[in-house]
Structure formats: structure tokens, C-alpha cells
Amino acid sequence: MQRKSPPQVGHMAPDFTAQTHLQEKVQLSDFRGKKCVVLVFYPGDDTPLCTSQLCSFRDTWEAFQATDTEVFGVNPSSESRHAHFVEKHHFPFALLVDGEKAICTAYGRLALLGLLVRRGVFLIDKRGAIAKIWEGNPSPSGILEAIKALPKET
């Protein structure tokens, strides 16, 4: 899943298969033609800013569901660490285990010689193309606006 440069808006999103914190398999391409996908890359479980960021998605979960959108958190933490984080904060969405950092690499989210995950959010439309990329910690309301602005055929 290695890429020479990170994907850009309009590119097809790099496909991946990953386990969730519940040991369920997720393959990105399974959502094509069915749902939009939001990938939230964040550095670590149970850190103050990461917790706040993911709680903001939890608190707007119903709005994401109403737009036919699946949300996944992504970082290299273990399944058990993710499971504890989800249970502690009652996240209704899955956290993907990226222990080999293959997803983070494919999306250009690694920094400091691959030791740190750069915070960012990717919106993938129903065709499987990257519709928008946000660096940092965008508000879920802004992401929802972008989803609602997508052409209906995506």
C-alpha cells in the first residue's frame, strides 16, 4: 500500500483492509456505491486533543448517519487499546487497527520519520474518490456541510 505521494482530491482513495477494535474486517472498497466514508487520522488514543476530536464525531453521529456516511478513526494503536478507548468514551463508530502503519502511509499521514501520525480527515465519496482533505482537527459540522454539498450521484 506504499505510495510515493499522498492522494489528492479527485484521486481514488487507496483501498485497504483492516481490523476494527471489535475484530471485524473492514475493506474500504466495500463501501463504493453505498456510503461516503470519513477517515479521521489522529495520533493517539486517550490523549486530550484526540479524545476531544473523536468525542465531537460521537456527539454528531446521528447527523453522519443521516447523510449515509461511515466514520472510522485510524491510528497504529492496538486492538485492545482502541477497544478501551471506545468503551471509555462510548464511540458509536469503529477505530481501525493500523499496526503496520500501512493505511497511514498510503494516505500520507506519517511524520517524524514515521513515528507520529499527522492529524487529518479524508472525505471519500460514494464512488471511492477523495472529495475533500482537511489537515488538523476540522469541525464535524464543516465535514457534514461538505458531505451535503457532494453531487447526488456520488
Return the active site residues.
50
Exposed (0-12), middle (13-18) or buried (19+): which is 26, by Cβ within 10 Å?
Answer: middle
Residues 43/75, Cβ–Cβ less than 8 Å: yes
Owner of C-alpha cell 493517539: 44
Parallel, antiparallel, or unpaired for β 110-111 and 94-97? unpaired
Residues 134/38, Cβ–Cβ less than 8 Å: no
Cα separation, 45 vs 95, in Å, equals 10
